[in-house]
Structure 1
Amino acid sequence: MAENNASEAAPAKKGKLKMIIMLLVVIVLAIALSVVGTLWFLGDGLPGMGGDEGEASGEPAEEQFVPSTYVELEKPLVTTVQAEGRQRYAQVYLSLEAVDPQALAAAELHLPLIRSQLVMQLGSSDFNELQTPEGRRSLADRMLATVNQVLEQEGEPAIKAVLFRNFVVQ
């Protein structure tokens, strides 16, 4: 009987060992699939899965974010605007936005010329147009073109936008 007990214990140990090995293989496989799936969804780990294809095909890399910098014009632009034969007043507080800090430094250097051109641009606007959002956007675009034209004449880099901080017409 002693021999019978020994032969039955050996297959049980073999079955437990086989079960442990299978469990370890399944765990390792699950971890590997998890890592591969994560890299695939993020798109930057496996060759041929969309990670580095742009660099390999010669396409330019995605541009890095560069925050804008601003300069505020301390004094408002104040001028008269014609409206149906009457003179009205317009007062505008401005800020200039640029990605290149040199453009803002150049704008500050040439600020007297820029202010003069902007006052003329504001004074030549139609009063009724300035009361609409589209008219104010149009004025901002014209002012941007005026500022960039002055900076271009001086050989300086361009600014990105002219922003209204306060806008009053009466």
Structure 2
Amino acid sequence: MSDAPAADAAPKKKGKLKMIVIGAVGVIVLLGGGVGAGLYAAGSGMVGGGGKPAAHDDPNKPKLVPKSEQKHPGAGGEGGEGGEGGHGGGEGAAEGGEGGEGGGEAHGAPTPEGHGGEPYASNYFAMEKEFTSNLQDSVHFIQIGLAVSTPYDDKVITNLKTNDIAIRSAILLTLGDTPEDQVFTGAGKAQLQKRLVATINQVLREKEGFGGISNVYFTTFVVQ
């Protein structure tokens, strides 16, 4: 009879031991999860000091220039490259056809009509030499002068000058692939402008990792 209580106590002790072990494992899991979450947050930049700077914080990347900071002819810098903003419609919007480069090179959404036009300045640059090329499957040839605009700072213009030879070659190839009917109408010329923007930005992205050209303008346009 005296052995019964001892026999009953053994299962109870085992049950308590299991509960203690399970509780300890739960605490370890919770602690491990908390440490893992903390390391993830630090690595992703969610908590201060631990993450890498975002791509848009790269000091070497061109920066958008607000209108309040734009340069004017005769106000210093490279003569006349900071012109009046808001011309050309496409300036200040994302680059035509560019979907990479850190989520797209957003130039800023245009402001509503009557509220100051585009929020960013137009930095203009006229390319020095004209371009002459045959047209696609045509006896005619085209000769054009080009200027470009960007809402970014002078780093884009510097990249354009640095890669002048590659850009000129790409523009001539684009002109050579232009059908005759595209150069005799306003709609066709507007389409050619978009193609030239895409051509220039493609070369700049390949060479410098950043496009930035928002529009091109014809300073001369002759078809013979």
Q: Give the total of aligned pairs.
A: 107
Larger relative contact order (C-alpha < 8 A, sep ≥ 6)? 1
Out of 125, 135, 149, which is 1:97 matched to? 149
**Structure 2 spans left out of the alignment, 5+ residues:** 1-110, 112-117
- 2:183 corresponds to 1:136: no
**Correspondence 1:40-119 to 2 at 5 A:** 65-82=119-136, 86-100=138-152, 101-119=154-172
Higher Cα Rg, which structure: 1
When normalised by structure 1's length, the TM-score is: 0.58
The structure with the greater share of residues assigned to strand is 1
- Helix, strand or coil for the counterpart of 1:156? coil
- Helix, strand or coil for the counterpart of 2:187? helix
Amino acid corresponding to residue 141 of structure 2 in structure 1: Y
When normalised by structure 2's length, the TM-score is: 0.45
Please give the alpha-carbon distance, in whole angstroms, between the structure 2 residues aligned to 1:106 and 1:115.
13
Q: Decide whether the 8 Å contact of 1:102 with 1:157 is kept in 2.
A: no
Runs of 4 or more, structure 1, over 6 Å off, are none
Q: Decide whether the 8 Å contact of 1:66 with 1:99 is kept in 2.
A: yes
Question: Which digits, 9 at most, give the CA deviation of each residue in 1:28-82, with x for residues without a partner?
Answer: xxxxxxxxxxxxxxxxxxxxxxxxxxxxxxxxxx9x9332111111110101114
- Helix, strand or coil for the counterpart of 2:145? strand
The structure with the greater share of residues assigned to helix is 1
Please give the alpha-carbon distance, in whole angstroms, between the structure 1 residues aligned to 2:203 and 2:130.
19
Q: Decide whether the 8 Å contact of 1:114 with 1:147 is kept in 2.
A: yes
Question: Which digits, 9 at most, give the CA deviation of each residue in 1:112-157, with x for residues without a partner?
Answer: 1001000110111011221011110101000100111111112134
Identity over the aligned pairs, expressed in percent?
Answer: 28
